[in-house]
Structure 1
Amino acid sequence: MDKVDSPILHSLFAGITLRPQCGKAVYLQLAEAMVTLIQQGRIPAGGRLPGSRELAGILRLNRLTVTKAFQELEMQGWLESHIGRGTFVAVSLPQPKPWALGEGTAERDSLRRAGFELRGAEYLQHGVDPVTTRLHLDDGFPDPSLAPLKELYRAYRAQLDRGDLYGRFGSYGLANGSGRFLDSLTRYLNLTRGLNITERNVLSVRGTVMGLNLVCNGLIQPGDMVVAGIPGWRRAEANFQHAGAQLLGIPVDGGGIQVDALEQLCQATKVRLVYVTPHHHYPTTVSLPMDRRLRLLDLAHRYGFVIFEDDYDFDYHYKHRPILPLASADEAGMVIYCGSFSKTFSPAFRLGYLVASENVIAHLAKVRTLLDRQGDHILERAMAELLDDGTIQRSQRKALSVYRERRDYFCDLLTTELAGQVEFDVPEGGLTVWTRFDRHIDLIQLAAEVRKKGLYISDGMPHRYPTYDAHAIRLGFASSTKDALEESVGILKRAMGLAG
Structure 2
Amino acid sequence: MDKTASPVMVPFKSLIQFDKASSTPVFIQLSNQLGHLIRQGTLAPGQRLPGTRQLADLLELNRQTIVAAYEEGLAQGWLESRSGSGTYVATHFPEIKPQGLAGATDDSSATNSVSAGSRPGNEQPGYAFESVDFLVRPVLTNQAGLRLDDGFPDIRLAPMEELSRAYRSYFRWGNPQQHFGYSDTKGHPLLREQLSAYLNETRGLQTTPENVLITRGSIMGLHLASQVLLRPGDVVAVGETTWSGATMNFKKTGATVLTVPVDQYGLDVDTLETICRTRQIRMVFVTPHHHYPTTVTLRADRRIKLLQLAEAYRFAILEDDYDYDFHYLSRPILPLASADRRGMVVYVGSLTKSVAPAFRVGYVVAPKVLIDELARHRRIIDRQGDPMLEFAIGQLFKTGDMKRHFRKTLRAYHARRDYFCDLLANALPDVVQFNKPDGGLAVWASFDPAIDMESLTEQAAQDGLYLSNGLFHNPLGQRLNSTRLGFASSSEAELERSVAVLKKVVHA
TM above 0.5, yes or no, is yes
Stretch moving more, 479-488 or 210-219: 210-219
Q: Is the 8 A contact 1:460 1:473 kept in 2?
A: yes
Q: Is the 8 A contact 2:151 2:442 kept in 1?
A: yes
Give the corresponding residue for 1:256.
Answer: 266
Q: Is the 8 A contact 1:148 1:395 kept in 2?
A: yes
1:377 CA drift (Å):
4.1
1:413 CA drift (Å):
1.4
Give the corresponding residue for 2:152.
Answer: 141
Stretch moving more, 401-410 or 271-280: 401-410
**How big is each residue's C-alpha offset from its partner over 1:400-427, in whole Å with a ceiling of 9 and x where there is no partner?**
3332222222112111111211111121
| Alignment-mate amino acid for residue 116 of structure 1 | P
Aligned pair 1:150/2:161, yes or no? yes
Aligned pair 1:343/2:356, yes or no? no
Which secondary structure does the structure 1 equivalent of 2:301 belong to? helix
Give the corresponding residue for 2:396.
Answer: 383
Give the corresponding residue for 1:131.
Answer: 142
Which secondary structure does the structure 1 equivalent of 2:454 belong to? helix
1:214 CA drift (Å):
2.1
Which secondary structure does the structure 1 equivalent of 2:333 belong to? coil
Give the corresponding residue for 1:433.
Answer: 443
1:307 CA drift (Å):
1.2
Aligned counterparts of 2:345 and 2:429: Cα–Cα separation in 1: 42
Give the corresponding residue for 1:83.
Answer: none
Give the corresponding residue for 2:303.
Answer: 293
Give the corresponding residue for 2:114.
Answer: 105
Unaligned regions of 5+ residues in structure 1, if any? 1-8, 79-86
Give the corresponding residue for 1:493.
Answer: 503
Unaligned regions of 5+ residues in structure 2, if any? 1-8, 79-88, 101-107
| Alignment-mate amino acid for residue 151 of structure 1 | E
Aligned counterparts of 2:466 and 2:137: Cα–Cα separation in 1: 17
Which secondary structure does the structure 2 equivalent of 1:473 belong to? strand
Aligned counterparts of 2:152 and 2:14: Cα–Cα separation in 1: 56
Q: Is the 8 A contact 2:205 2:338 kept in 1?
A: yes
Aligned counterparts of 2:112 and 2:74: Cα–Cα separation in 1: 30
Give the corresponding residue for 1:198.
Answer: 208
Which secondary structure does the structure 1 equivalent of 2:412 belong to? helix
1:249 CA drift (Å):
3.5
Give the corresponding residue for 1:271.
Answer: 281
Q: Is the 8 A contact 2:361 2:390 kept in 1?
A: no
1:153 CA drift (Å):
3.0
1:435 CA drift (Å):
0.4
1:469 CA drift (Å):
2.6
Aligned counterparts of 1:233 and 1:352: Cα–Cα separation in 2: 17
Q: Is the 8 A contact 1:181 1:383 kept in 2?
A: no
Stretch moving more, 266-275 or 413-422: 266-275
Q: 1:372 to 1:453 in 2, by over 3 A?
A: farther
1:37 CA drift (Å):
10
Aligned counterparts of 1:195 and 1:129: Cα–Cα separation in 2: 32
| Alignment-mate amino acid for residue 238 of structure 2 | A
**How big is each residue's C-alpha offset from its partner over 1:245-297, in whole Å with a ceiling of 9 and x where there is no partner?**
33413133222222233334434443332221011011000111122212222
Give the corresponding residue for 2:105.
Answer: none
Q: Is the 8 A contact 1:230 1:468 kept in 2?
A: no
Which secondary structure does the structure 2 equivalent of 1:275 belong to? strand
Q: 1:349 to 1:92 in 2, by over 3 A?
A: closer
Aligned counterparts of 2:69 and 2:124: Cα–Cα separation in 1: 29
Aligned counterparts of 1:112 and 1:19: Cα–Cα separation in 2: 31
Q: 1:454 to 1:247 in 2, by over 3 A?
A: farther
TM-score, structure 1 as length reference: 0.79
Aligned counterparts of 2:190 and 2:353: Cα–Cα separation in 1: 22
Aligned counterparts of 2:133 and 2:278: Cα–Cα separation in 1: 27
Aligned counterparts of 1:321 and 1:413: Cα–Cα separation in 2: 26
Q: How does 1:410-429 map to 2 (within 5 A)?
A: 410-429=420-439
Aligned counterparts of 2:464 and 2:246: Cα–Cα separation in 1: 30
Give the corresponding residue for 2:405.
Answer: 395
1:490 CA drift (Å):
0.4
Which secondary structure does the structure 2 equivalent of 1:100 belong to? helix
Give the corresponding residue for 1:176.
Answer: 186
1:231 CA drift (Å):
1.7
Aligned pair count reads 489
**How big is each residue's C-alpha offset from its partner over 1:297-321, in whole Å with a ceiling of 9 and x where there is no partner?**
2222222222110001112222351
Give the corresponding residue for 1:353.
Answer: 363
Which secondary structure does the structure 2 equivalent of 1:317 belong to? coil
Q: Is the 8 A contact 1:232 1:283 kept in 2?
A: yes
Give the corresponding residue for 2:236.
Answer: 226
Q: 1:292 to 1:69 in 2, by over 3 A?
A: same
Which secondary structure does the structure 1 equivalent of 2:331 belong to? coil
1:495 CA drift (Å):
1.1
**How big is each residue's C-alpha offset from its partner over 1:333-361, in whole Å with a ceiling of 9 and x where there is no partner?**
11110112223222222222211001111
Query: Cα RMSD over matched residues?
Result: 4.4
Q: How does 1:401-412 map to 2 (within 5 A)?
A: 401-412=411-422
| Alignment-mate amino acid for residue 353 of structure 2 | K
Q: 1:319 to 1:247 in 2, by over 3 A?
A: farther
Q: How does 1:199-214 map to 2 (within 5 A)?
A: 199-214=209-224
Which secondary structure does the structure 2 equivalent of 1:261 belong to? helix
Aligned counterparts of 1:238 and 1:125: Cα–Cα separation in 2: 9
Q: 1:171 to 1:435 in 2, by over 3 A?
A: same
Q: Is the 8 A contact 1:203 1:361 kept in 2?
A: yes
Which secondary structure does the structure 1 equivalent of 2:110 belong to? coil
**How big is each residue's C-alpha offset from its partner over 1:432-451, in whole Å with a ceiling of 9 and x where there is no partner?**
11001112222222222222
**How big is each residue's C-alpha offset from its partner over 1:71-96, in whole Å with a ceiling of 9 and x where there is no partner?**
99999999xxxxxxxx9xx9989998
| Alignment-mate amino acid for residue 214 of structure 1 | L
1:38 CA drift (Å):
11
Give the corresponding residue for 1:6.
Answer: none
Aligned counterparts of 1:362 and 1:306: Cα–Cα separation in 2: 17
1:217 CA drift (Å):
3.3
